[in-house]
Structure 1
């Protein structure tokens, strides 16, 4: 490779930047390699499909990882260090990397020397001020000053590039439909505050009965409840991410730091704001188009006259029903948002200028450019809230991990094994939850479908404790509370359960009827005064987002939909929450879907969904690879670091 680089250097401007880059990449320098650990694992940290991860490589990567976290968390790191198993996490990352490299090779990917050269000479730290390569001599000196060689550095870089190719191949198969993007945008941005009253079905169970015929009907119509493979039920403690974020304060220094180090996230392309008047052809024949052009030219004469009110003319003449009422205002948009003919015309205009007739597939347009916003970086003041949310998300994730680890430690130290003992650990941020029964391979209700977690739970015995695990709602610690064997339960054996199910249905129907009868009282009185009268519980919910648990109710999509469909100050219908009970909400505030903001953020949301799907695909790939060929880990080596952490 060095033979391809024959140039010289007098000075170097980016050495410090490049030193940091090299520090992250290196995994080949020894750091006090330990002694042999276990039969066949002397000097090794792990074996992955015939590839050995040496103890020296592991120790070097462990030091590098710890240094990165120390720089990221500063003084907080010493406290956080005691809450995480950094050695196990580091080795797991190295194992995952080897598995993915092997998969990339199987798919036929490789990095040619020319590609590698192009990447190396693109680093600012290896360029002169005029952009040319610094030369072989200084290149070698820089690497050796950082305790590596050109050969080792290039091999590490080649591996990184190979993983990039694998990632790009997976990304090529990921398509996120617009409807899914909108659902996710709504989930993230639509918020509602409301008072909620929940009445459990148990409040009416002693007032209803179920005959054997009703029990049989319930059994027949709910076969999925009685026919099943082996199923599990989890009790889990959730460090609720949304609740945790409300307790965190984001320092201004971290907002500024994130903004300055993530400038690429806030880059904007050139945008314009324009108005238009559209005249559609009455027919698709030549005459129809000629008539439309003639009518637009008549309007154009008036629009180009001194002092003309373009917006008023648009309201009077435009045939674009989507923008007519707003005076033809199309809002801000960038390139690629409009049809090509329209785009070419509008971006060629000067601010305040009106175009001549522009023909598109929709008809003839008259366009006025109102404003132009050049490409650049959004100012911090405009994106401060977004930056704060992203920093808070990172802080909450780290704090959630720490709290979940502390919960696991407390559970193990006190040998907490009953549901009551686990529920006692709940607080303002930690919630206690029980899943319905679910089968192997199915998403865990309320938790998600992380392949590694599903595999872990499927292999766990009754009473096993797991976690901490990251989920979309926050970090969890779980216990397999019950395992139900596979099979179809005969009606005679399931009769009591079927009777209970039929009674719950009747109890929910009765409670809905009774609460609807109190509608006037519910509208006028605080729920806190109504709750004791009906045996329910009242809660005030602030900034609820779609898909999150509702305090006192849990995840309840029907209630959620009712809340977002009800105007501020209104009362939702009484909604059944499965067979657990009924709920009604009084809406106090809402942040609703904003079409313009969605158009602005649509592609950012899509990218995040693509990334989430990529992460899921990689996790599934890793889980399957480990199932087919489990890696061998030097557990004695890891235990040594657990003892050291202490």
Structure 2
């Protein structure tokens, strides 16, 4: 037997068998080393889903998918900013989008693409061709090339992006097909927004009863035991750090008068140049991009008819108030008669996006004073635009832009110095290995800072700023351990050491006695208020009973102005949100009970009498039904997609790698 074991051939077979048995499970269980490792080198995937080998292996989210998800979010944020009439730069927009949000978008997009593949929802070449013809109807090839040059994108990138968006759209459409609405549901929704009701009510504030609450030691102790989890303190930690802080650089940086003047001379033709701008009015006739051809043609015909009336001398502002379908034209939602005459609240400025898109901006800036445009198509429909005032582009005198030049120069100087010091810190850290944070601080000539105890869930450290991207890495530290590299966020280059950790715990009663006392008084006062309200509710069978019972207790009955249920907050702020839906079923002449604030711990109880209702007519409902159906259907569709994605997250596990994503962002910034 021993001779056999000494045989090279037998030993080779044993070793081979051992490798076959051991390596697969080892790889299976420990394949993604970064779960317990630290630093960018340990984790190579941006995010991943467990969707290979029947859910036994991870499938990484690729860099290309990550970029598509980022681009998609940037477009979404751009639409939001534009719809709110907000000015923004691409850099500002990117700062609004966190890495976690990009990762979640990439994972959700993967789920949708997976659905599209399974159901055969591929985007065909014919569909791409039709989309391009729709996007560039006039001189398609030339317009397409011009667009690509303007946005700095290759044809392959554009097509890839288009296919990506259309695939997701098809997958969402497949889910949308399950959305159904009944006339009863639509009528219910219509009543919430259109039916006016009037009530008389008695408001019983909880705070009126706080003086009646007399807490005892036993009652407070029992309350603490019953609600102990409410006082739990999450994981906390104290950190020491060595850092280059942007705030320090800002305090030390102030440009000289000569440098400001030199900056002006260099940039008076670009950054400091006066941009062309215009204050415009417009008339919008809505036509969604996916509207039927007949609806689009009808909208265009309407705009052209209005344009003829403008040419004939009719007042543009009056026509805007009469015909424009831009909801922003209404000054006060409570009084639809107050309108703006089509005047946009913000100027249209060269280089700044408008919520109506590039074509609208381009046309508006091409107009002379009082000139009216031809019909312009946007994603919202067809527009007529009139320029009320025009500011021409040109060089601005130094004295007028002195402060702006100083701010811009100071920002450039701070950026450069912050980057210079931070990269020098990185180079110093990379030169050799440091056994302690103190030795690195000494080598860097910097003081060691302390954060004090902080809540780890907040993902924020005093002075350092946001650390959400590195939070998973930092959670794994032992006391005395520090980062294996210089980390970076928008406000600091830093090396972080865990000084001490305090795990999540429920503090003893003595430490939270004051909070317990306040909470006990608040809860008991709310209970007493509800008892009084319930007694009034039981006693009052009609309005006369309610007025008499309220008077006996020193309360007044208040009559509201007519209001719609979706505007109930204008009458009683923070009213129980269920009021809008439940009150649709209530009868006039009846008494009801509701609350303000948190239903579990209300700030006040409301006993109210349903005085009258003014329902919309069926004729008005039929007229508004198409728009109502579309809006409500959209809400249901969005809810279905979110529900489907939640289900997919449960079925197909996904993980996000914030450590590598942070490093990827830094390397991307350096290469850019």
State TM-score, norm by structure 1.
Answer: 0.41
State TM-score, norm by structure 2.
Answer: 0.40
